[in-house]
């Protein structure tokens, strides 16, 4: 069923629908599944193109090994599993069999970050951004809404080489229209501001927009930039914004250790260092619980982003505040 304002889709449903759309356009596209297609919604593709759907079973290392072989014969494989199994269990196969030879494999990582909720530490993936962006040849993206995900998937099909993109089990607020496009290494300015820059990726960009509204009520104009392309990242836009605002906050649905916030920090360190605060999971395992409760526990809600923005502004104005939490 198409998405509209009265019928918002979970991102995994938008993922499944886009798979079918791509399957019609690319006859050499094949879907591989590790016994999770009803959860990931790869089942959409299975029903539409059963002859191009391969059930590997609960054997993730084999999933990616077979995908590498298919890519070598001219197919465009989509090996689908939960992000935690790609980033942990099958990392060697992804690194050596796919990234090292730079094969044309598109990897959707499902069930990422906090919204996986009650699955617990074994299935809640918070380290995939850090792991995947460390692999040479791998491109990494985290969509801000369903239109963004669709655009990422279309661009991925036109991109030669391995791609990793995240699929969140969550219904995200709409940021972009149906004609939205995506380009590697390009960010999006969503809201202009002068006092602080809020850099968001994935579902956290929506929370940055809400945080900007909170700050605006206190007379603090915050700039909001969405960076779906995490690797490569838009260093030019990052530098351009912080030259104006003088401080920044990053927000990600993942660990801050080596993740999106680290990527922004690296860019700032190279081109224009400013006070920075990072919102995300703070080097700890996720507990099992309700989604909203976990976002609150890990201080990842809009008021927390707004508080981090105020701390970054204070650090900009006072060198003594530079060593605040999350710096």
In tens, the pLDDT along 259-270 reads: 999 999 999 999
pLDDT of 319 strictly over 70: no
Is the domain of 102 the same as that of 193?
Answer: no
**Whole-number Å distance between alpha carbons of 301 and 251:** 10
How many residues belong to the chain? 327
For the chain, what is the domain count? 2
Is the domain of 194 the same as that of 235?
Answer: yes
pLDDT of 326 strictly over 60: no
Is the domain of 142 the same as that of 269?
Answer: no
Question: Residue 1 domain-assigned?
Answer: no
Label residue 249 by pLDDT band (50, 70, 90): very high
Is the domain of 214 the same as that of 125?
Answer: no
Average pLDDT estimate for 36-61: 92
Is the domain of 209 the same as that of 79?
Answer: no
**pTM value surpassing 0.75:** yes
Q: Which domain holds residue 294?
A: 188-318
Is the domain of 139 the same as that of 216?
Answer: no
Q: Of 108, 132, 167, which marks where a domain is finished? A: 167
Is the domain of 91 the same as that of 25?
Answer: yes
- As beta bridge partners, residue 108 has 165
Residue 69 in contact with residue 93, Cβ under 8 Å?
Answer: no
Is the domain of 224 the same as that of 140?
Answer: no
């Amino acid at each position: 069923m198409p998405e509209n304002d009265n019928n918002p889709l979970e991102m995994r449903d938008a993922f499944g629908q886009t798979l079918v759309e791509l399957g019609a356009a690319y006859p050499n596209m094949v879907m591989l599944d590790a016994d999770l297609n009803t959860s990931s919604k790869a089942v959409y593709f299975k029903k539409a193109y059963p002859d191009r759907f391969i059930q590997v079973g609960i054997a993730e290392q084999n999933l990616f090994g077979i995908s590498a072989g298919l890519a070598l014969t001219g197919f465009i494989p989509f090996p689908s599993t939960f992000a935690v199994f790609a980033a942990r269990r099958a990392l060697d196969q992804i690194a050596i069999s796919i990234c090292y030879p730079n094969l044309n494999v598109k990897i959707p990582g499902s069930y990422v970050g906090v919204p996986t909720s009650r699955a617990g530490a074994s299935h809640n993936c918070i380290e995939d951004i850090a792991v995947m962006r460390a692999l040479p040849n791998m491109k990494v993206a985290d969509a801000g809404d369903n239109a963004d995900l669709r655009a990422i998937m279309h661009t991925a099909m036109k991109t030669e080489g391995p791609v990793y993109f995240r699929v969140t089990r969550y219904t995200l607020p709409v940021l972009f229209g149906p004609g939205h496009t995506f380009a590697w290494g390009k960010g999006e300015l969503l809201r202009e501001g002068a006092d602080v820059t809020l850099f968001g990726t994935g579902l956290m960009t929506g929370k940055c927009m809400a945080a900007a509204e909170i700050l605006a009520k206190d007379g603090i104009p915050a700039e909001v930039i969405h960076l779906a392309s995490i690797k490569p990242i838009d260093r030019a836009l990052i530098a351009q914004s912080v030259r104006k605002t003088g401080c920044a906050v990053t927000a990600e649905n993942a660990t801050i250790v080596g993740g999106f916030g680290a990527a922004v920090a690296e860019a700032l360190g190279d081109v224009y260092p400013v006070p920075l605060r990072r919102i995300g999971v703070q080097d700890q395992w996720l507990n099992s619980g309700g989604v909203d409760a976990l976002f609150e526990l890990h201080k990842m809600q809009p008021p927390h982003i707004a508080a981090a923005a105020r701390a970054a502004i204070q650090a900009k104005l006072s060198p003594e505040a530079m060593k605040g939490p999350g710096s």
